[in-house]
Chain A
Amino acid sequence: MNAPVDHKKLIKGATGDWEVVIGMEIHAQVTSKAKLFSGAATAFGAEPNAHVSLVDAAMPGMLPVINRECVRQAVRTGLGLKAQINLRSVFDRKNYFYPDLPQGYQISQYKFPIVGEGEVIVDMADGTQIQVGIERLHLEQDAGKSIHDLHPSQSFVDLNRSGVALMEIVSKPDLRSSEEAKAYVTKLRTILRYLGTCDGDMEKGNLRADVNVSVRRPGDPLGTRCEIKNVNSIRFIGQAIEHEARRQIGIIEDGGTIDQETRLFDPGKGETRSMRSKEEAHDYRYFPDPDLLPLEFTQDFVDELATHLPELPDEKKERFIAEYGLSVYDAGVLIAERESADFFERIAKGRDGKAAANWVINELFGRLNKEGLGIEDSPVSADQLGGIVDLIGEGVISGKIAKDLFEIVWSEGGDPRAIVDERGMKQVTDTGAIEKAVDEVIAANAEKVEQVKEKPSMLGWFVGQVMKSTGGKANPQAVNAMLKDKLGIE
């Protein structure tokens, strides 16, 4: 919290530099078939109120029963965040009235959360790393959804989400810029997706953030914070922080003070606006839920989950660098999604890792991005791309031909080696054929032959001509050597 001030991150105000301090509360929907305390399904997109049990609708006399799978998922997430797992935690009731909160309280964890302090390491675009402290992770119920635009005077309530399990992951106020905040959420999302504990789908609201923002003069104590509720995209998180920080700086520089309040981000206007002040804040009257016993499990239960944890992004990145000789950057790009990392690794196994990384990052990702596709939709499979890398490695095709081959596989499919055979795309290594092409180019360009002797860097032009005349199939090294020889260039 009191790390040395990094001047690059400061915001310039009219009266000097300001430091922005950000803490985040991420609400991540637990991946599970059933809700946290009822057997109702969690599937998205059903008809309103199709997935509502008697418990979710808070019918008289109904009682919550904890879903073990959600507990397992929370513990796994805690392990993934290198956090303390609490063998005993307590569910509390957070009391407030709202039509989409049928019980009149949300079952949450207040004083004794299931997961305690942890840490996330975040890679920044400039190659630096920051450490973000995790304060806690607790399990809680989601509320339903109020729909206000279907009737002129009435609201509708959809309880499908009511009771769905959420993990609230609270960071320490360790973030110092919108870039850091965005990178943190991105990394957290990656970890959750690796673990399979949350799908991270922000469009469906399965991952959303409350962002606490305050500003201060570098070195000063923390300023008064405002909480921006329910921001549902990483881009909006950045925009909301930028706007909010500048709003607060403006107020203070004009001689005002910041009121602690809850604000909403309006993506249309790109600004935050007040939702409720501290005075209007609810008194949630938290107390332990008497319908639920304290949640207790053994260290063995935790250890068992730990042994079955998948390789996490940080470990995978280290391994990719060590095992495949990748650059930090390339490794970082590849591990951002577990599916991409797996795809890469299917190609890299037994092949040149760097070449595999180049093909996956530059060709495949480039093309997928252009088409707006995810790795799971890639028309080129790992085996196909591996085949292309093999053909280059064996000297069967040149890099240029390989790009053509990639295009063919992308649009038509098929086995790359067979395509090369059928379409005569093999690299020409037959010196006779290359010599013929070289001789023809030299003969046709007498003037350039004179020039290249003065300026050897023009050799590339000759190579290009030969490649062109052979349809790109000549082995470039062979062409290069033969041209040097015939033109008398060292």
Chain B
Amino acid sequence: MTNLTDLTLAEARDGLAAKRFSAVELTKAHQQAMGSARSLNAFVADTPDQALAMAVAADERIARGEARPLEGLPIGVKDLFCTEGVQSTACSNILKGFTPRYESTVSANLWNAGAVMLGKLNCDEFAMGSSNETSAFGPVVSPWRRAGEEAGKRTQLVPGGSSGGSAAAVSARLCLAATATDTGGSIRQPAAFTGTVGIKPTYGRCSRWGIVAFASSLDQAGPITKTVRDSAMMLQAMAGPDAKDTTCADLPVPDFEAAIGRGVKGLKIGIPKEYRVPGMPAEIERLWEAGQAWLREAGAEIVEVSLPHTKYALPAYYIVAPAEASSNLARYDGVRYGLRVEGKDILDMYERTRAAGFGREVKRRVMIGTYVLSAGYYDAYYLRAQKIRTLIKRDFEKVYADGVDAILTPTTPSAAFGIGEKGSGDPVEMYLNDIFTVTVNMAGLPGISVPGGFDAKGLPLGLQLIGRPFDEETLFAAGQVIEDAAGRVALPEPWWG
């Protein structure tokens, strides 16, 4: 028998159905992998008893012939999702020890589909970051390493962020798949950095209920997986209407897995000229061209398109997202739950609690957000950013109205970087990681990152496909074409155990 942790989600499903192994065996194999990968710091909470109980129940269901779509498949959950009876902290000190009495809709959907919960995954604090370095639990170490570095002098790389724990755990084969969230690129960028697949569905495809809010108008849940098919399976279970979230679309969820083999014949794929940013590394350029060639060879028509307001997306994003965050994080005040640092009066208590509870990046964004919403600045910042957002949305609408089915871009401007390498002096250096991904959140569109190749140092690079609203199916179809052409990524051999 092959190593169970090497299986994809779909392979594991088929193996369980064929009774080649049990859900308990599958779960234990992953728990063992988790145990030997502590140095990666991917998990911030393990739920071994719960996992085994769920696996046992899954085996019984399988035996009775009542297997649900994800029956017995062990997954990890980003710590941004509230999970009943299990510590849920958004990787912030201000929520350390917080154990909700409720289960987020998305994770509940997964358990209802039979998935097994291995534990909670590390992420940037309140999902604010692009390298998983802002977590109160410390950074996640990517299982990937640069080729050619001398033993003993190897750079520890970031897995990307904010869903760094999810991406690292999947690429290190600690879980078959993971939930993640994406506000500006937090699913797609770490997927690109770790040779995994990540899809941020259309805003409103997944319920936000029970997910710790960062920027409500941009946040969306999605999966990080080993393959495009696995992503389709995961999203199938995660998505769906929810009366508890007004912004969640009241739309039926199509059969995503059925779209996988559809191909791209006759589709029109747009190449936005504005994404050819100055100073783009040649290897990113080559990756993008390869992606176009693969899609063309599979029968798609490649056309150049224009998204003229792209250059304003990142600055506008860094107004809208912090503005919403400054308000969303006001509830962490030490009054009802989470951390409280006593003070001489209520104001002093607030100040001490929030000073001790929030990390540097979160404080920075709360302050930026507070500033841009302040009297006298609102019109100049927040209102203008919202106008830009409308223009960005229109850019896409126009392209899609002209018959384009999906847009192809690189996911990130570079491969993974070393821990501590970026953003310590200038935060904008870090923010630039999301330059290709934020537009998608600003426009509320679906976007998928699929591994497309490697940089000169052997690190994975991702290609991003952006779809029409609620047309994730085309992304799965086109994503599969890229995956087939680029070849499945060989995930890194464990050096961490």
The 8 Å CB contact of B246, one of A60, A64, A102, is A64
- Could you tell me if B330 and A60 are in contact, using CB atoms closer than 8 angstroms? no
Is A459's beta carbon under 8 Å from chain B? no
List chain A residues, Cβ under 8 A from B346.
Answer: 99, 155
- Could you tell me if A60 and B98 are in contact, using CB atoms closer than 8 angstroms? yes
Interface size on A, residues (CB 8 A): 29
Q: In the complex, what distance in Å separates the CA atom of A57 from the CA atom of B217?
A: 22
Complex interface: stretch among B371-379, B412-420, B447-455, B484-492 = B371-379
Q: In the complex, what distance in Å separates the CA atom of A242 from the CA atom of B366?
A: 44
Is A59's beta carbon under 8 Å from chain B? yes
- Could you tell me if B246 and A65 are in contact, using CB atoms closer than 8 angstroms? yes
Q: In the complex, what distance in Å separates the CA atom of A285 from the CA atom of B378?
A: 8
Main secondary structure of the interface of A (DSSP, over half): loop
- Could you tell me if A63 and B209 are in contact, using CB atoms closer than 8 angstroms? yes
Interface size on B, residues (CB 8 A): 44
Is B382's beta carbon under 8 Å from chain A? yes
**Also in contact, A102 and B335, with CB within 8 A (given A64-B246, A66-B246, A95-B373):** yes
- Could you tell me if B216 and A290 are in contact, using CB atoms closer than 8 angstroms? yes
Is B286's beta carbon under 8 Å from chain A? no
Q: In the complex, what distance in Å separates the CA atom of A104 from the CA atom of B333?
A: 8
Is B208's beta carbon under 8 Å from chain A? yes
Is A293's beta carbon under 8 Å from chain B? yes
Q: In the complex, what distance in Å separates the CA atom of A104 from the CA atom of B208?
A: 19
List chain B residues, Cβ under 8 A from A95.
Answer: 326-327, 330, 373
- Could you tell me if A290 and B208 are in contact, using CB atoms closer than 8 angstroms? no
B240 to chain A, nearest CB (A): 16
A288 to chain B, nearest CB (A): 9
Main secondary structure of the interface of B (DSSP, over half): loop
List chain B residues, Cβ under 8 A from A62.
Answer: 209-210
The 8 Å CB contact of B211, one of A61, A99, A283, A290, is A61
Is B243's beta carbon under 8 Å from chain A? yes
List chain A residues, Cβ under 8 A from B174.
Answer: none
Is A103's beta carbon under 8 Å from chain B? yes
A273 to chain B, nearest CB (A): 21
Is B324's beta carbon under 8 Å from chain A? yes
List chain A residues, Cβ under 8 A from B81.
Answer: 61
List chain A residues, Cβ under 8 A from B324.
Answer: 287, 290
B93 to chain A, nearest CB (A): 14
Is B496's beta carbon under 8 Å from chain A? no
**Also in contact, A285 and B336, with CB within 8 A (given A66-B246, A95-B327, A291-B247):** no
**Also in contact, A60 and B327, with CB within 8 A (given A285-B374, A293-B246):** no
Q: In the complex, what distance in Å separates the CA atom of A293 from the CA atom of B248?
A: 10
- Could you tell me if B373 and A60 are in contact, using CB atoms closer than 8 angstroms? no
Q: In the complex, what distance in Å separates the CA atom of A185 from the CA atom of B33?
A: 70
List chain A residues, Cβ under 8 A from B95.
Answer: 60
List chain B residues, Cβ under 8 A from A66.
Answer: 246
The 8 Å CB contact of B212, one of A60, A64, A155, is A60
- Could you tell me if A287 and B382 are in contact, using CB atoms closer than 8 angstroms? yes
Q: In the complex, what distance in Å separates the CA atom of A353 from the CA atom of B88?
A: 70
Most chain-A Cβ atoms within 10 A of its Cβ — which of B98, B244, B382?
B244
| Closest residue of A by beta carbon distance from B95 | A60
B270 to chain A, nearest CB (A): 28
Q: In the complex, what distance in Å separates the CA atom of A63 from the CA atom of B82?
A: 13
Is B337's beta carbon under 8 Å from chain A? yes
Most chain-B Cβ atoms within 10 A of its Cβ — which of A61, A93, A104, A292?
A61
List chain B residues, Cβ under 8 A from A59.
Answer: 82, 100, 102, 337
**Also in contact, A61 and B104, with CB within 8 A (given A97-B350, A283-B374):** yes
8 Å CB contacts to B: which residues of A270-299?
283, 285-287, 290-293
| Closest residue of B by beta carbon distance from A281 | B375
Q: Encode B215-253 as 1/0 by CB contact (under 8 A) with A.
A: 111000000000000000000000000011111000000
* Inter-chain pairs besides A65-B245, A291-B247, 10 sampled, C-beta below 8 Å: A54-B101, A60-B82, A61-B208, A63-B209, A65-B243, A95-B373, A97-B347, A99-B333, A285-B326, A291-B213
A-B contact pairs, 23 of them (CB 8 A): A54-B102, A59-B82, A60-B82, A61-B104, A62-B209, A62-B210, A63-B246, A102-B331, A104-B327, A105-B330, A155-B346, A283-B375, A285-B370, A285-B375, A285-B378, A287-B327, A287-B373, A287-B382, A290-B215, A290-B247, A290-B324, A291-B213, A291-B247
Q: 4 tightest A-B contacts by CB?
A: A104-B330, A290-B217, A285-B373, A290-B216
